Structure 1
Amino acid sequence: MWKLGILVAVAAFLETVSATSLGVVYTEGGMVDGENIRLGLFRHMDIFKGVPFADIPGRFEKPKRHPGWDGVMKTKEYRKRCMQVNMLMSDTRGSEDCLYLNIWIPHGRAVSSGLPVMVWIYGGGFLAGGSMGANFMDNYLYNGKEIADRGNVIVVTLGYRVGTLGFLSTGESDLPGNYGLWDQQAAIAWVNRNIRGFGGDPENVTIFGESAGGASVSFQTLTPHNKGLFKRAISQSGVALCPWAVNKNPRRFTEEVAIKVNCPTDQNMAACLKMTDPAVLTLAGSLSLSSSPDHPLVYNLALSPVIDGDFLPDDPSKLFHNAADIDYIAGVNDMDGHLFTGLDVLTINSPLVDTPIEDVKRLLAAYTKDKGKAGADNAYSTYTLNWSSNPSKATIKKTVVEIGTDFIFLVPTQAALYLHAANAKTGRTYSYLFSEPSRMGGIARPYPSWMGADHADDLQYVFGKPFSTPLGYWPRHRDLSGYIIAYWTNFAKTGDPNKGDLSVPTTWPKFTNTGHQFVEIHHNMNRDYVRQKMRTRYVHFWTSILPNLPVLGSE
């Protein structure tokens, strides 16, 4: 028995002596020193937090390279997130000094080199969000540790400007907008130039993101400014074609902000806004959360990217040739629209209160408003085709969620996949539907029992929360998280989610313009979860029937 004790002690001693670590890393700006943690026998991880990828940005200017520093910068603490409104939109948090990134590097018996790199872009409606430490109490959602460790990849998370400081635009050269997208692009370029020093392969970078982050990933594949900087991309619940992703008339909102902060709305507006206190500017860009079936919440998202002739030289639908050599995964959650429609039509979450059919008609009329009565009538007949003469309460409520999911997320994502596949040269295309029911649904919970996967429900599984906080989950949630990490990291390594170091529950076929195949991601996956033609009738309505109806005149 004592011999075993000695052996264990010797093994532990050797393990600490030979702890694998990069130590101090030299970057273009100077040297950085992170922390090293032990994951298990002969597995360690280096974590660098708050590494600058650009200088403190000038107000409404593109980011510039960091001037560098002397000595060794300690990178063991998260920096502040970019300045933004708080949850209640009553105050601001964060800082203008926010262009930093965080890096997780796993090591086995030897220090890693040539690892695939995955760069995460967070969501938050282009208004909020951050990847700098705890989002809620002590829970840091975007911790790269589980993906990096389980998938043997480097994970990078970054900060980018949001809200007025990130996306305010006059639509002219005096305030062109898209500063947040330029920040993301500067971080991707920094990774490309510096990641080799951290054990990464600059020739094998994947960008991935969710919601506004998924749309951002899509924009980064479509801009001509990223040629050769990354190889693959994953958009979760958001693409550049979403109705909230591009603001076609940015000046209107900018004038509203100007009036709130006592700036003129003439040719001096941009100059005045640049001199306004950043916290005051940020608060002035708060969005209204009040909505109704006639004025859906999605139309309030006014701070978003713009077609500026530079980052986005044209409408996103015309830029897919720029993504011809990028491998691409895109998908949605089966009830992504619930977060929005639950605010537009409050009754859908009340099991005891009926949702009036009139509310279904009002929501469809709002989504098809350019086409007037013909659009609304066509939409209503499309969504009620399978209803009985006396539809149940749950049927009506679920239909509201389906309408929101289709319009805000699913149909634009299918259109983006179609355009990616149609323009692809070497780039492969993959489609998914995430359908694990929300953990908020069912008995004595705030959501109805029929609830599927809500917006952002996928994030906890992508980032391995069932492994890092096991008490909050069932074994099936760990299965699901393992499947997603396997698909995502295999894809990052090889461009094929089925091929890599991790086994997957079923083969995920490519999306082609003839087959339209996709996998449904769920804890109980098998070959029956490979499907095709996602919600074809509804995709056809929004992409073919509705656009061909005459536009309303001046009614």
Structure 2
Amino acid sequence: MMLKLGILFAVAVFLETASAASLGVVQTEGGMVEGETISLGLSRSMDIFKGIPFADIPGRFEKPKRHPGWGGVLKATQYRDECLQLNFFQNSYVGSEDCLYLNIWVPHGSSVSSGLPVMVWIYGGGFMIGGSMGPYYLDNYMYYGKEIADRGNVIVVTLGYRVGPMGFMSTGDSDLPGNYGLWDQQAAIAWVHRNIRSFGGDPDNITVFGESAGGVSVSFQTLTPHNKGIIRRAISQSGVALCPWALNRDPRRFAEEVARKVNCPTDNRMASCLKMTDPGTLTKFCLNYPPNYIHTNYCTISAPVIDGDFLPDDPSNLFHNAAEIDYIAGVNNMDGHMFTNFDVPSVNLDLVVTPTNDVRRLLAALTKEKGESGLNNAYSTYTSNWGSFPTWDTIKKTIVDIETDYIFLVPTQAALYLHADHATTGRTYSYLFSEPNLLGGPLLPYPSWMGADHADDLQYVFGKPFSSPLVYWPSHRRVSDYLISYWTNFAKTGDPNKGDSAVPATWPTFTRSGEKFLEINSDMNQNYIRQEMRLRYVHFWTSILPSLPTVTSE
């Protein structure tokens, strides 16, 4: 009997595999590609393509060019190198200049898919590090698109783009205009638009989404005039174009500093000399910028610039270009915690108190242009609910709030206002992600009051609680399901509430008059629709502080 059951099971597995829908060899503009097909269970399968070139090997400090193509069938079954960047320990560099490749996940039912919505992921990493696969995490890469593609029935694409000095070095003029990494992203999105129909996707329904510097990149991709008619929807997680670290506003000064460091002249020969300098040497130059207060990107040369081309103006003046794009933007409720590890390390130490002087010192760094008046206004704003004897936890949470507000939350709210103000057909949605960090608790590295730290949302968006169930609790699977449902519904319809996936609460649009947002966590329900996210603090940073007289220059 057991033998018969075993044979029947083997036959069933064979038939399921043999009958799995597959695209087989796909014709693209560069040539034919073939990925691998995996089974997702009864009558469902997925094609996975790794390492498809979307552009040629880029010229140093040049825009990407179309790939010349290839003969035969390209076996797209291996990830390609990440772009040149600092290693994990930041004492050397890894990666390659040959790095402009993308990966695609295509789900199928009983027949090959067609007309699926497309979600294009842009990774974060401060414009300094990162890759299309992300870090290796729980027996696979973080940005493995299988769970989103399968559960949401969408095509997922992840892409590579140049980072660090090789992606963003600029002299502030036409010699080295900068933004090469943004052009790489745009080239990948345009490639998807031209080719995704062959993979079963809808080229007229592309959603770009990303986190941190990836969220900033998403924001830039909606604001540039070069993506008109290509992007239909966008999601920025913990990063928008208005973040204080999103732009290098003095590229010439930093380029000259680099030039002197690598023995290049700083006159009209500087650009040609930098182009001939070893790229690894330039990449390691980021080591000379240690983390400090306000974290306006500690490798300042690795940031986009207003170049008059990709970004023809200040981002705040470009929101008319996103008028027809549906847009979700939000933050994690303790996004700034990761950065307090550098600024105020005692925040995480139960036995070490954090004096109120740390709050004043942090606020002084963030308001230095406004002098004593700016500091006093900021301090009274952030300590108004302390009472006469604030606990140490209250003071520590205030420090995390300050960094979260300044680095992420306030600029995100400002971007949402601008998108809503300029929108014609585009809808606007705001969220706050508040699932507590997995490492928060009395016997764990972080305090028990920890909320969602920077990048905590990634594991849930990419479905890690489902692909690695033994590492997570049922509550984590709930919040992962909520995020994937909202995100993929939005990709399909432009409304996160409408699609094939049920959601726990109806998410209202964000308007300047209503200012409604959705708080997302594993215990959420209809009562988690909120209003006026930290309005007092948003008002301070966007209205009160700018109105004070400037006493010192940057």
Matches within 5 A, 1:285-300: 285-286=286-287, 288-291=289-292, 295-298=293-296, 300=298
Deviates more, 1:330-339 or 1:443-452: 443-452
- Scaled by the length of structure 1, the TM-score of the pair is 0.97
The Cα shift of 1:288 comes to 2.8
Is this contact kept in 1: 2:369–2:553, CA < 8 A? Answer: no
User: Residue 483 of structure 1 aligns with which residue?
Assistant: 482
- Which ranges of structure 2 fall in alignment gaps of 5 or more residues? none
Could you tell me how far apart the structure 1 residues matched to 2:533 and 2:134 are? 36
> Quick one: which amino acid aligns to residue 111 of structure 1?
V
Alignment of 1:454-473 (within 5 A): 454-473=453-472
| Corresponding residue for residue 53 of structure 1 | 54
Is the contact between residue 289 and residue 297 of structure 1 (CA under 8 Å) also seen in structure 2? no
The DSSP-based 3-state class of the residue aligned with 2:20 is coil
1:454-533 paired onto structure 2 within 5 Å: 454-533=453-532
Residue by residue over 1:288-328, the C-alpha shift from the partner in whole angstroms, topping out at 9 and shown as x without a partner, is 3343xxx4433524121100000000000000000000000
After superposition, give the CA deviation of every residue in 1:66-118 in whole Å (9 maximum; x if it has no partner): 00001011110000000000122111000000000000000110000100000
Residues of 2 paired with 1:136 and 1:283: CA distance?
26
| Per-residue deviation, 1:554 | 6.3
How many angstroms apart in 1 are the aligned matches of 2:507 and 2:291?
Answer: 41
Shift of 1:134: 4.9
Q: Is the 8 A contact 1:257 1:285 kept in 2?
A: no
Deviation per CA, 1:496-530: give whole Å up to 9, x if none: 00000000011001001110000000001101110
Does residue 321 in structure 1 map to residue 320 in structure 2? yes
Q: Distance in 1 between matches of 2:372 and 2:18?
A: 75
Q: Deviations over 1:384-435 (max 9, x none)?
A: 1111111110011100000000000000000000000000000000000000
Distance 1:134 1:387, change over 3 A: closer
Structure-1 residue corresponding to 2:162: 161
The residue number in structure 1 matching 2:88 is 87
Distance 1:301 1:357 in 2: 29
Match of 2:311 in 1: 312
Code of the residue aligned with 1:90 in structure 2: it is N
CA distance in 2, matches of 1:56, 1:7: 50
Asked if 2 retains the 8 angstrom alpha-carbon contact of 1:435 and 1:453, the reply is yes
| Residues 215-254 of structure 1 mapped to structure 2, 5 A cutoff | 215-254=216-255
- AA aligned to 1:77 is Q
Offset of residue 552 of structure 1? 1.3
Letter in 2 for 1:203: D
Conserved 8 A contact 1:298-1:340: no
CA-atom RMSD in angstroms: 1.6
> In 2, Cα distance between the equivalents of 1:374 and 1:158?
46
Report the equivalent of 2:332: 333
What does 1:131-146 correspond to in 2, within 5 Å? 131-132=132-133, 134-136=135-137, 138-146=139-147
Unaligned runs of at least 5 residues, structure 1: none
**2:183: which partner in 1?**
182
Contact 2:115 2:200 in 1 (8 A): yes
One-letter identity of the residue aligned with 2:312: P
TM-score, normalised to structure 2, is: 0.97
How far, CA to CA, are the matches of 2:343 and 2:442 in structure 1? 24
State the distance in 1 between where 2:434 and 2:137 align.
25
Contact map agreement 1:160 1:183 (CA 8 A) in 2: yes
Cα distance change, pair 545–50 in 1 and its aligned pair in 2 (3 A): same
Deviation at 1:17, TM superposition (A): 2.7
Counterpart contact for 2:124–2:214, Cα < 8 Å: yes
Q: How do residues 34-433 of structure 1 correspond to structure 2 at under 5 angstroms?
A: 34-132=35-133, 134-136=135-137, 138-286=139-287, 288-291=289-292, 295-298=293-296, 300-302=298-300, 303-433=302-432
Q: Displacement, 1:538?
A: 0.2
Aligned residues of 1:244 and 1:301 also touching (Cα < 8 A): no
Q: Secondary structure at the match of 2:412?
A: helix
Mapped to 2, the partners of 1:201 and 1:287 lie a distance apart of 45
Q: For 2:215 and 2:101, locate their aligned partners in 1 and report how far apart those are by CA, in whole Å.
A: 20
Contact 1:78 1:133 in 2 (8 A): no
Q: CA deviation at 1:553?
A: 4.9
**Deviation at 1:11?**
4.1
1:185-216 deviations in Å (ceiling 9; x for gaps)? 00000000000000000010000000000000
Asked if the contact 2:382–2:398 (Cα under 8 Å) also holds between the matched residues in 1, the reply is: yes
Higher mean displacement: 346-355 or 451-460: 346-355
Question: 1:412 is aligned with what amino acid?
Answer: P
In the alignment, the residues of structure 2 paired with residue 254 and residue 448 of structure 1 have an alpha-carbon distance, to the nearest angstrom, of 41
- Opposite residue 56 of structure 2, the aligned amino acid is D
Take 2:283 and 2:70, find their aligned partners in 1: how far apart are those partners? 30
The answer to whether the Cα contact below 8 Å between 2:332 and 2:452 also exists between their aligned partners in 1 is yes
Residue identity in the other structure for 1:325: E
Instruction: Using the TM superposition, give the Cα deviation of residue 5 of structure 1 relative to its aligned residue in structure 2, in angstroms.
Output: 7.3
Q: Is the 8 A contact 1:80 1:132 kept in 2?
A: no
- Shift in Å, 1:466: 0.2
* Cα separation, 2, equivalents of 1:12 and 1:174: 60
Structure 1 position 341, deviation (Å): 1.8
Classify the secondary structure of the residue corresponding to 1:359. Answer: helix
Contact 2:286-2:299 within 8 A present in 1 as well: no
CA distance in 2, matches of 1:203, 1:363: 46
| Amino acid aligned to 1:56 | I
